[in-house]
Structure 1
Amino acid sequence: MRKSLICFTIICTTLFNVNAQYTETINSNRPGESQGGFAVGKGVLQLEAGAYMGNDDHALYRQEADILGAMYGLRFGFLTENLELNFFGSFQDQTTTLIIGNREQESGIRNFRTNTIGAKYLVYDPYKNAEDEKPNLYSWKANQRFKWKTLIPAISVYGGANFSFGDNPYLYPGESNYSPKAAVITQNNWGRWVLVMNFIADKFTEEFPSYGAIVTVTHAVTPKFAVFGEYQGYISDIYADDILRGGAAYLLLDDLQLDISGLVNFKDTPSRWQIAGGFSYRFDFHSDDEILEDSYDKASDKRRQRSRNSGFQ
């Protein structure tokens, strides 16, 4: 798995040459579960963390679980604007009450539920040359017409490895402590609206692999306040479900975001609800030298073009 991850990183670095969009304010995956299409930016180290509580009520087994947990993530922009190394995980404390006749029996487990290290690479950015597009000076209708190319998303690929140590009660019997995870990530930016989709293959070398998709829609109500809605579907012989999430995020500082969210599902084996809150903080060591140099080159090209075609300003 380690060799595969190294190869994945090398291939991505050598085959593709596009520019990701470094943002002046923090770009966080929270509070949803999906990964955005863009990396955090070269030289940026970002912490994303939060806590959650909830309940799983399994009608068939007549058992109920009270859940407390913490989620954490580290994202680092490495080598290029397009590459991000990341680490995501969660620790969960779960108390289960089983009803046997008229008697209740309690048991508890506490361990790391997930830990995944991986890399994400932006392979296609449709917004790269968006600033070069010019309005049609002769047709108002042409400027207002729907542009089909706005449906083309930014596309990233992700490869990672799940890992666990010792006898973890959150692993099913016979499951390996190490397994692969891969995803294709798309992102569309439409003004104040953002659509992100993740298509995920998880633990696909195991006896019971998991496949799923996450669709997240975010709307910026103001420059500092945004709301989101999210659908996540799982397909697996161990656990299959459909989950809805919703919540909001507030940009307290350019490098600090606060968030709150909740989830529900659509079945009773188990029925689930959770609420969560957290934050994202960016340590911004990004250098603008390359961006400034690129902007200067473009400006110089335009000046040369104008000098050659002085009648067409």
Structure 2
Amino acid sequence: MGIGSNIKKTIGQLSFAVLFASVSVTGQYTDVINSNRPGLSVSAYAVGKNVVQLEMGAFYEQQDHGLLNTQSDIWGSDISLRYGLLFEQLELNYEGTFQHQNILFTSFGISETRTDFQRNRLGLKFLVYDPFKNPERNKPNLYSWRANNKFQFKNLLPAVSLYAGANFVLGDNPFYPGEAQISPRAMIATQSKLTSRMVLITNTSYDRIGTEFPELNYLISISHAFRNPKWSVFAEHQGIQSDRYSDLLLRSGVAYLMNEGLQVDMNLGASFKNTPSRVFMSLGGSYRFDFHKDKLVPIEDQAADENGGEIKKGAMKLEKKKKKKKGKGAEDIDLGPSKKQLKKLKKAQKKKKKDSGEIEF
């Protein structure tokens, strides 16, 4: 079974799951920046309403094509601009990759350059399901550190987002000759918190829909935070299937949180084949412009279970009965044994002495 058929099967399974998932959403805003870098995978969660986040980096790549006998040096820059639009679960996202490629045709001893956007797209992402909306799921176990940090199968249940957007080919782009200026793109993004330090993200997308060379793409990424949570590492696998270009890629890297709104990172990666063989590296960072403001909700408009749970009918009467049974005031103070109890205690002591043969003076 080829890469394409595997991706199609995965898309079908994920689409079925999303269609029958109940649409439930929760707040997305966090006090600390949450970046998609240093990998290419996209989080299921949005940045939060009125948050503007810039994620960018510079990269270098070397490509050698075994069949075409070409060697390429590629320099470029990645940029992603994310904005929390209208409400917490919706995100507007622009992604661009501008690159300059020097190609040497070794068989003929000639070279050429190509400079343009290799990636240029705009889209909306919306969270349709969040397993952590249930507050009971977020409660830590106060009696066991292991219970809070070990892997549990229930943690595989992911948050799910849907993405819809478009690719834009501006002018005479040498990377996409003859392609339509606008082509749709769709994606399903999932995110599972495997443990308190480990997160699994998957992206399954169908790109350049309706063009001569549509593209199926999947990404699987695992990130892990160290004991010092400012440091984290990730490993990512990417599969690409298209009549224009197919490949399997692997990348890994590290990120460091400078402060609540700034993260820096680096990553390295390579391909699994030689048509072309690819080796690449990237350095970058992410910065957040935080204009988020918490929305104040009047208590009469809040859900019944938001502040300690629903108050049941007759709950106050039941509480009064419990207090009466327990007693109050001086009735709760231990004043020692009564006279009757002391008499019984003395009789028991005398009987014990007689049975033991002791002489009482």
TM above 0.5, yes or no, is yes
Larger fraction in helix:
2
Distance 1:143 1:166 in 2: 54
Q: Would you say 1:24 and 2:28 are equivalent positions? A: no
Q: Following TM superposition, by how much is the alpha carbon of 1:114 offset from its aligned partner in structure 2, in angstroms?
A: 1.2
Distance 2:141 2:238 in 1: 41
Bigger Cα Rg: 2
Residues 32-181 of structure 1: matches in 2 within 5 Å?
32-100=39-107, 104-131=109-136, 148-172=153-177, 174-181=178-185
Q: Would you say 1:256 and 2:259 are equivalent positions? A: no
Q: Would you say 1:216 and 2:242 are equivalent positions? A: no
Q: Following TM superposition, by how much is the alpha carbon of 1:52 offset from its aligned partner in structure 2, in angstroms?
A: 0.1
Residues 217-236 of structure 1: matches in 2 within 5 Å?
217-221=222-226, 222-236=228-242
Checking the alignment, whether the CA contact within 8 Å between 1:116 and 1:163 is kept in structure 2 is yes
Checking the alignment, whether the CA contact within 8 Å between 1:181 and 1:203 is kept in structure 2 is yes
Matched residues, percent identical? 44
SS in 1 for 2:155: helix
Checking the alignment, whether the CA contact within 8 Å between 2:304 and 2:310 is kept in structure 1 is no
SS in 2 for 1:289: coil
SS in 1 for 2:34: coil
Distance 2:176 2:73 in 1: 19
Distance 2:140 2:32 in 1: 28
Distance 1:76 1:308 in 2: 50
CA deviation profile, 1:176-212 (whole Å, cap 9, x unmatched): 1211111001000121000000001001211211001
Checking the alignment, whether the CA contact within 8 Å between 1:52 and 1:70 is kept in structure 2 is yes
Q: Structure 2 residue aligned with 1:185, among 182, 189, 208?
A: 189
Distance 1:223 1:309 in 2: 47
Higher-RCO chain (CA-CA 8 Å, sequence separation at least 6): 1
Gaps of 5+ in 1: 1-14
Larger fraction in strand:
1
Deviates more, 1:290-299 or 1:42-51: 290-299
Cα 1:307–1:107, aligned 2, differ >3 Å: closer, same or farther? Answer: farther
Distance 2:71 2:150 in 1: 54
Q: Following TM superposition, by how much is the alpha carbon of 1:285 offset from its aligned partner in structure 2, in angstroms?
A: 0.9
TM-score, scaled relative to structure 1: 0.85
CA deviation profile, 1:139-180 (whole Å, cap 9, x unmatched): xxx9999754322100000001100211010104x3112111
TM-score, scaled relative to structure 2: 0.74
Q: Would you say 1:282 and 2:288 are equivalent positions? A: yes
Q: Following TM superposition, by how much is the alpha carbon of 1:20 offset from its aligned partner in structure 2, in angstroms?
A: 3.5
Q: Following TM superposition, by how much is the alpha carbon of 1:134 offset from its aligned partner in structure 2, in angstroms?
A: 6.2
Distance 1:144 1:29 in 2: 23
Checking the alignment, whether the CA contact within 8 Å between 1:37 and 1:187 is kept in structure 2 is yes
SS in 2 for 1:167: coil
Cα 1:135–1:95, aligned 2, differ >3 Å: closer, same or farther? Answer: closer
Checking the alignment, whether the CA contact within 8 Å between 2:219 and 2:237 is kept in structure 1 is yes
Letter in 1 for 2:183: S
Cα 1:165–1:302, aligned 2, differ >3 Å: closer, same or farther? Answer: same
Q: Superposition RMSD on alpha carbons, in Å? A: 3.0
Q: Would you say 1:237 and 2:243 are equivalent positions? A: yes
Distance 1:210 1:255 in 2: 34
Gaps of 5+ in 2: 1-21, 323-361
